[in-house]
């Protein structure tokens, strides 16, 4: 049983673009012909196309058509605009991930933690430090804070595998929105202890607040990335 119609059309077109069924700069079939090939309404194909625009795969132009602007050259390690667990992105890039849990505790948010994470003071939290390896190299040092009431039953064992898989598949937490900021920070002692930074004294830091389907922020994570293996990608559009 497939998903919704517009999703399957989106995936089909995406696959065709990725497999170079449409050439770079070539126009895709018009909306009207897509309506015929997929047997659906115009709104539905337009919705699929808009998703491709958001991905930076195609560009639309009124009166002309939909142009393929996908270039497979650049393969970003971490794609912006969608939420992915470390394990998922590693597997997507055909790399073997490993995670080591350095620290697993529970704590109550005081003012300091509250202002850093955005959790209300007094929140009961799990706090973890995790080290992520890719192909044997230590690349990311993660500081995770999870709301205990939502990530119930989290264990170091689970944290070594995939926390997101546990949240979604076991606890049925709907993961919806994540607000992220990306900065560059001076390395700390603990960074240097676990990550091989070479002669760099800075690293890339991604801080994220993640919300569940009820609008509750249940996760704050700070990911500290070894700079030479860090690449963020996004597609922006202009609306003046």
Partner DNA sequence: GCCGATTTGTCCGTATGTATC
Partner DNA sequence: CGATACATACGGACAAATCGG
Contacts 24+ apart (CB under 8 A), 86-92: 86/132, 86/140, 86/142, 86/162, 87/161, 87/162, 87/164, 87/165, 88/162, 88/164, 90/134
Under rule CB under 7 A, how many of the chain's residues touch DNA? 27
Element (H, E) at 53: helix 42-54
CA–CA distance, 48 with 11 (Å, rounded to integer):
8
Apex 93 CA angle, 226 and 179, nearest 5: 60
215 binds DNA (CB under 7 A): no
* Residue 25: closest CA among 55, 59, 50, 54: 59
60 binds DNA (CB under 7 A): yes
Residue 56 interacts, among its own copies, DNA, none and using kind-specific CB cut-offs from 5 to 8 Å, with its own copies
The residues binding its own copies (CB under 8 A) are: 25, 53, 56, 59, 61, 67, 69, 71, 73-74, 76, 80-83, 118, 168, 175-186, 199-204, 208, 211, 213-215, 225, 227-228, 230-240
56 binds DNA (CB under 7 A): no
17 binds DNA (CB under 7 A): no
CA–CA distance, 79 with 83 (Å, rounded to integer):
8
Q: Smallest distance from the beta carbon of 149 to DNA, in angstroms? A: 16
51 binds DNA (CB under 7 A): no
Residue 82 interacts, among DNA, its own copies, none and using kind-specific CB cut-offs from 5 to 8 Å, with its own copies
Span of 11-19, 44-52, 147-155, 216-224 interacting with DNA by CB under 7 A: 44-52
């Amino acid at each position: 049983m497939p998903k919704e119609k517009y999703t399957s059309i989106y995936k089909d077109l995406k696959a065709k673009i990725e497999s170079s069924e449409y050439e770079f700069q070539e126009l895709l079939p018009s909306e009207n012909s897509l309506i015929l090939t997929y047997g659906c309404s115009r709104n539905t194909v337009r919705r699929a196309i808009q998703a491709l625009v958001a991905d930076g795969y195609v560009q639309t132009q009124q009166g002309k058509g939909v142009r393929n602007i996908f270039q497979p050259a650049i393969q970003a390690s971490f794609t912006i605009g969608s939420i992915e667990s470390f394990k998922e992105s590693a597997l997507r890039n055909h790399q073997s991930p490993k995670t080591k849990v350095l620290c697993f505790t529970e704590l109550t948010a005081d003012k300091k933690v509250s202002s850093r994470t955005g959790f209300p003071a007094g929140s009961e939290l799990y706090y973890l430090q995790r080290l992520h390896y890719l192909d044997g190299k230590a690349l990311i040092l993660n500081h995770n804070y999870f709301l205990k009431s939502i990530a119930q039953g989290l264990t170091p064992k689970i944290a070594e595998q995939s926390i997101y898989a546990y949240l979604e598949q076991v606890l049925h937490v709907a993961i919806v929105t994540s607000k992220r900021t990306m900065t560059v920070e001076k390395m700390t002692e603990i960074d240097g202890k676990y990550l091989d930074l070479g002669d760099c004294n800075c690293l890339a830091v991604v801080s994220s607040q993640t919300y569940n389907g009820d609008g509750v922020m249940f996760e704050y994570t700070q990911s500290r990335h070894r700079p030479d293996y860090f690449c963020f990608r996004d597609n922006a559009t202009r609306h003046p």
